[in-house]
Amino acid sequence: MTSANNTPTPAPGRPSSRPPSLDEPTEPTGPLEPTPDQEAAQPRTPTGAEPGPERSTTAQQGEFLTTSQGARLQDTDHSLKAGRRGPVLLQDHHLREKVTHFDHERIPERVVHARGAAAHGVFEGYGTAESVCRAGFLAKGKRTEVFTRFSTVVGSRGSMDTARDTRGFATKLYTDEGTFDLVANNIPVFFIQDGIKFPDVVHAAKPHPDREIPQAQSAHDTFWEFVSLHTEAQHHTLWFMGDRGIPRSFRMMEGFGIHTFRLANADGETSLVKFHWKPTLGVHSLTWEEAQILGGADPDFHRRDLSDAIEAGAHPSWELGIQVFPDDEEQSFEGIDLLDPTKFVPEEFAPVQPIGRMTLDRNPSNYFAETEQVAFNPGHLVPGIDVTDDPLLQVRLFSYVDTQLTRLGGPNFAQLPINRAHAPINDMLRDGYGQQGDHAGVAPYQPNSLDGGCPFMAGEMDGAFTDLPVRVPEGVKERELSATFEDHYSQARLFWRSMTPLERDHIVDAYSFELGKCYENVIRERQLQCLANIDVDLCTRVAAALGMPAPEPTVPAGDESDGPVSTSGALSQLGGTWPTDGRMIGIVVDPDGDNSALLALHEKIVAASMTPLVIAPHGGEVAGVPVGRTFATAASVEFDALLLAGAPLTAPDSRPSVDPKAGAPGSGAIEPRVGKLIDECWRHAKAMGAWGEGRGALEAHTGSGGAGIVLGDEPFTVLGEIQSLLGGHRVWERFVPASR
């Protein structure tokens, strides 16, 4: 038999659709087409639909219940039995499939950062990074899809959002040049300097292994033993003993890349940088009492706050900025070793330069598929961004990949939809658990000629990722750190000095509580010694709260000129004014009072990108406005400000014997649970306003006024003043700090 052009038909068994060349191919071509007998499997989505741009193609299909293979079912309530009272039959394929899948529908949770919440969004470059970085996603006006996951570190998936803890802030940027993962925290320094200590610090912070308690807390012996013995942890510990350990919202957290990265511009010139996420809404925190109440009243507070804000259209945003340093042999700046992850560079010496903005505008549609299965890795880099020799970062480059192999069931976790790159993939990685690609060709190796040499190596003009050529200093193999890593106290001292008196009070209270929960007195003694080495006043105040003597410092305490700056204004959260988007406003109403302006007030709050919640004795509606909370369900910790549009008397369900929140019998002037809301908002330094009948009720609980109390004759003027106060987050002027 001959072909149409009178050449012999080749014998079966040809490995490639095109004869190979004698020499190794050098001209890039795409993957070869399959041979005539090899037609690729027709792609379908996981739910049997033809692929399309609509997201619905991956959701459930059809109106009938089916097996995983698409066979329609008529019963899923009864197993197949040998007679109604007989044994269940092994042949019941639907029973076996249903129960087997249920038995395996959970995957191992993350060892750390297990409890998280996430959202989709977009990053837009400003073009201002061009002089230091050639990464395409930073170009002016370039929009890149992102997925950002926020998390606590220590607690399990079932723990509470508001525990005192460091927060993760990991962002996956799906760039045209490959995926870039910026795996950050809300604190710019870390507990340890070398990644080999990471198992130790996590084991110490986790619940005690014998009893698995306390959950999601650092207030226990093993944690404080570790940080008091491993003193490089003192700086990070001081940060989360401060207000940053209990953020008001994920939307109001800074993010820090922690490590120093190396950037390269189009000319190959390199710089060292630190990445910063700056929230548009400012950096704000909960009070300690709020965090504790929320742990019981609403342990999902942070994830609810994020998703509700996005649903309401109050899309949170952050500016991405960089601190830029010369890439010299010392890799230090103003005496600060840039490879030490327990150190930061004060913004007074290296300002943060904005290079783009991220806005989160879409909630996940499936928590497990997206938020739980997303896999980050600081080694996911793009051209123009490279790592440094930071010994913590170097270990993270290994650890992140390694942990996903078990958690996500094999090496193909990058093919899960949430992890898929938005750039062409030709990786020659084949087979393995969960392989979803349908690779063509017969030569997944290099060099080859059977597949026409494809895939080819990219050159400089093809946008290849380059491991930047960096001179490695001469040395010997040894298990040591640089002498420049030995200072464990001066930057902790800088942080303490930079706090306002009120913030210092909060830090003292946090240490007093945490150390007071330790069983072993020797651990308290050892940690007090560390505090004395940071600041004598800090140590003295905590020691007094613990009823213990304050030790003398064992290292030089430094002076006001200790380090490059004596204080850093960027470290304090207080003193600024910020947008009020997404703030929650509680409105107490009396259904029998004058509510003629309630609807207009409600809509005015919505128009200001805030969320109103009407609080009434019962559900339903008041003056055409839905009741968001009843007196039985309202909690002061939900609201950023409280308005009293009326003074409701004791409600029919106000029975202290049944509901302790109803309070003790009062004068009858106001419902006791409303009084409780007022009292808590007062203690938590929240703005409150009232008019009409509500004015007398607020005055009765707070006096004739005071800081953050707005009394007026009509609601809209009161609302305007309340919104102005909300710009400062809280009304701390209400209280006199203990420290001066």
Q: How far is it, in rounded angstroms, from Cα 121 to Cα 123?
A: 7
> What DSSP string runs through 298-345?
-TTHHHHHHHHHHHTT---EEEEEEEEEE--TT-EETTEETT-TT---
Q: What's the rounded Cα separation, in Å, for the pair 649 and 654?
A: 10
Q: Give the residue carrying structure tokens 């308290």.
A: 524
Q: Is the peptide bond before 341 cis (omega within 30 degrees of 0)?
A: no
Residue 642 to residue 95: CA distance in whole angstroms:
53
Contacts of 135 (CB under 8 A, 6+ apart): 129, 175, 177, 180, 263, 382, 383, 384, 385
State how far the Cα of 712 lies from the Cα of 702, in Å rounded to an integer.
15
Is residue 265 among the annotated active site residues?
no
**Of 5, 93, 101, 185, which one is the catalytic site residue?**
185
| Cα separation, 237 vs 241, whole angstroms | 6
Q: How far is CA 69 from CA 47, 97, 104, in A?
A: 9, 10, 18
CA dihedral 706→712→718→722, nearest 10 degrees, is 0
* Residues listed for the chain: 740
What is the rounded CA–CA span in Å between residue 501 and residue 503? 6
CB atoms within 10 A of CB 324: 20
What's phi and psi for 454, nearest 5 deg?
A: -75, 140
Tokens of 190: 């870390």
Token pair listed for 449: 């000629």
DSSP letter for 31, please.
P
DSSP conformation class of 259: S
Helix, strand, or coil (residue 644) = strand
CA–CA distance from 688 to each of 60, 71, 401, 603, 734 (Å)? 47, 60, 50, 19, 12
AA identity, residue 415: Q
Residues 6+ apart with CB under 8 A from 473: 329
Say how far apart CA 441 and CA 397 lie, in whole Å.
Answer: 31
Residue 708 in tokens: 């953050």
Catalytic residue among 113, 276, 315, 506: 113
Active site residue 113: yes
Residues 631, 546: Cα–Cα separation, whole Å: 38
Catalytic residue positions, numbered:
113, 185
